[in-house]
Amino acid sequence: MKKTRYENTDKSATLATFKDLLKWRKERKGKQIDLSFQVPMVDKTEEAFLQSNRTIPTITWIGHSTFLIQLNGLNILTDPVWANRLGTDKRLSPPGLPIGELPPIDIVLISHSHYDHLSYSSIKRLKGNPTFFVPIGLGNWFKRKGFSKIVESNWWDEHQIGELTIAFVPAQHWAKRTLTDTNHSHWGGWIVQDSNQTLYFAGDSGYFEGFREIGDKYSIDYCLMPIGAYEPEWFMAAQHVSPEDAVKAFINTRSKVMIPMHYGAYRLADDTPKEALDRLLAEWTKRKLDDNKLAVMKLGETIHMETPII
């Protein structure tokens, strides 16, 4: 039986070929990359509070694309990855919270199958008995790993969990875990919404017009937007937004606050965490955007969402 192969909405957004990969690998051998900068960590995390909290809505940045979101009494994790290495490369900064200090997890949101977003060694260690919300085509992987509470979603599918709405929304990216499964599962972002807050977790994405469509459909309070793994742009642009495009995407979604992510944990490309942040802040200043609308979080930092957004 022929397997479904998923595509981006913009068919002209050509992803890099194997020939391009070889060209990049050759090109990067001559580059000197300074990885000495580390994303700051909070002096004191709120572990005890997070473990007992079931009433106050919060966002805690663990690192890379991993967030603990507490909303409507539920503990939600995005793309849980605590791995110390990605391939041969060592993690650049520690997770903001040890995995053992998490509260029991109710829901896990997976954006796509890449190893820096889906780590089996991490998800099997989670406390609780979570339901995994995954892109269509990825459910069988979870079943083979012994998980049973799985909800597969296609773009724009919505699910109600009590008073919470969880929706799978488009992104411009791709999927692969083995040599033979390229794009056999989908990719995307997630909307998490209750009567008071709407969060948009963008996953991985190149810049595309879908950001406007997501902003048209949902009134977003917090936008968790990637800013790293964009260099060289001739190779990465179709799959990862640059910091400048991340700001443009944030504006397109008409979100109230942007939280940058997907930088500082792993060496995925030729940019550095400091470059990503510097370019983000420069673009923010260039566009004369309100500083109150940008929340650059420290590792392990918790935002209490009951505080009104300015």
Which tens digit of pLDDT belongs to each residue from 205-262?
Answer: 999 999 999 999 999 999 999 999 999 999 899 999 999 999 999 999 999 999 999 9
Strand segments (E) across the chain:
58-63, 66-71, 74-78, 85-86, 89-90, 107-109, 131-135, 150-153, 158-161, 164-169, 189-193, 198-201, 222-226, 257-261, 302-304
Domain ranges across the chain? 38-304
d(CA 111, CA 119): 12
Q: Which of 5-19, 41-55, 110-124, 275-289 has the lowest mean pLDDT?
A: 5-19
Is 90 exceeded by the pLDDT of residue 18? no
Judged on CB neighbours under 10 Å (0-12, 13-18, 19+), 286 is: exposed
Domain 38-304, CATH homologous superfamily name and number: Ribonuclease Z/Hydroxyacylglutathione hydrolase-like (3.60.15.10)
pTM here? Answer: 0.95
Is 80 exceeded by the pLDDT of residue 12? no
The residue type found at 250 is: F
Which tens digit of pLDDT belongs to each residue from 182-193?
Answer: 999 999 999 999
Q: What is the pLDDT of residue 307?
A: 63
